[in-house]
Amino acid sequence: MGNKMKTRKEQREEKKELKRESKRKQESVLSDLAQFMEDVHKTVDTEDEDIEQIEDFAGFVQEESTVAGRALADIIYTFTNDFEIGKLVKSGEIRKKVVGVEPEWKVPELYNMTHFDLKNFSMKLLTRSRNPKMNFIVLQLHGGGYVAKVKNSYYTMATYYCDAGKGIPVLTPDYRVAPEDPYPAALEDAVASYQWILDHGYKGEQIIVVGDSAGGGLAMALTMYLRDHDMPLPRGIVAMSPWTDVTASGESYSLNYELDPLFGNTKESMIYINDYAGEHDKKDPYISPIYGNFRKFPPMLIQVGSTEMLLSDSITAASMADIAGVEVRLSIYDDMFHVFQMAGPILPEAKRAWDEVEHFIQLLINE
């Protein structure tokens, strides 16, 4: 017993030292990033002269972690690394199978949910049952590594976005995923969802596109497609831990390899083994947006955890957006894991993140 406990103690100490070393490296990188964004901000004019409030909101922000947040991250780390089921979480197998066993999502009393069938996929529209605010709409693109369908947690997140917009509706498409439907299926369905909104009387400036993980990258890919095809651009973008580099080549993929609670310590996760690109080049900007450009993009809020392997995806996207003159706010939450915002109000960091989302959306819709 004593030797076993000692081994665990040694493992904890090794992990703490890894975190300290990672943070030392990150502090240097993030310091350079903050200075870079400040310098660029002084020299590049924004495309839109009517977003002064968002300009004040833009920049680089680092949020300190709480004891509760660090404890939850440690629990997740132990679960995904010490138990066999952790492999299924990292590979996405759990995500692929969960929809078939989930009960039908119970719509909370304050909301209504309407189902729509399109040619290749279905969508659900969440609206507030009392005092809805219909002059704006959110298009939510779910995560899941492009291999998992939508799950109930995203309808819960839709209520958060609805509340952040003081009652604006949220449309969540269940877009096609790999391996059955690789690229460009997800992008085609995102474009079709956006066009559906336009066909129902909304202008681009009334649409806010949001997404997490693969959905965050898809939100940016969608915006690139809209721009490249002379379609109306959305009012703004919210991206949580966006997967913007399917080649997994950023520095954080190695820097946080042993720290990431959800995807660390293995090359057999959906990050590395993924069928989405199919026969296409993973550096295609519509697959990995950081290999394109962010010219004419609307304001963006990007949130990410500091221990994520995907941290570089957010930093690079924010930097490129800044260079292109886009008003972008990059918020890095210390010690947080991939899409920690799903924890909702029970996690202090998640609550702060949703407060930030609400502030951003209010700036967008009240301009």
Positions annotated as catalytic residues are 213, 308, 338
For the chain, the residue count is 367
Q: Which of 311, 308, 300 is nearest to 337 (CA)?
A: 308
Which residue stretches of 209-347 are H helix? 214-228, 252-255, 311-323
Residue 258 vs residues 13, 30, 306: alpha-carbon distances, Å: 13, 19, 13
Question: Would you tell me how many other CB atoms lie within 10 Å of the CB of residue 265?
Answer: 16
Measured in Å, how far apart are the chain's first and last C-alpha atoms? 63
Whole-number Å distance between alpha carbons of 331 and 329: 6
Tokens of 87: 């492999």
Whole-number Å distance between alpha carbons of 301 and 315: 12
Whole-number Å distance between alpha carbons of 249 and 291: 12
The H or E element containing residue 333 is: strand 328-333
Q: Which of 263, 259, 292, 291 is nearest to 89 (CA)?
A: 263
| Rounded (5°) CA angle 195-230-215 | 50
Positive or negative torsion for Cα 255, 259, 261, 267: positive
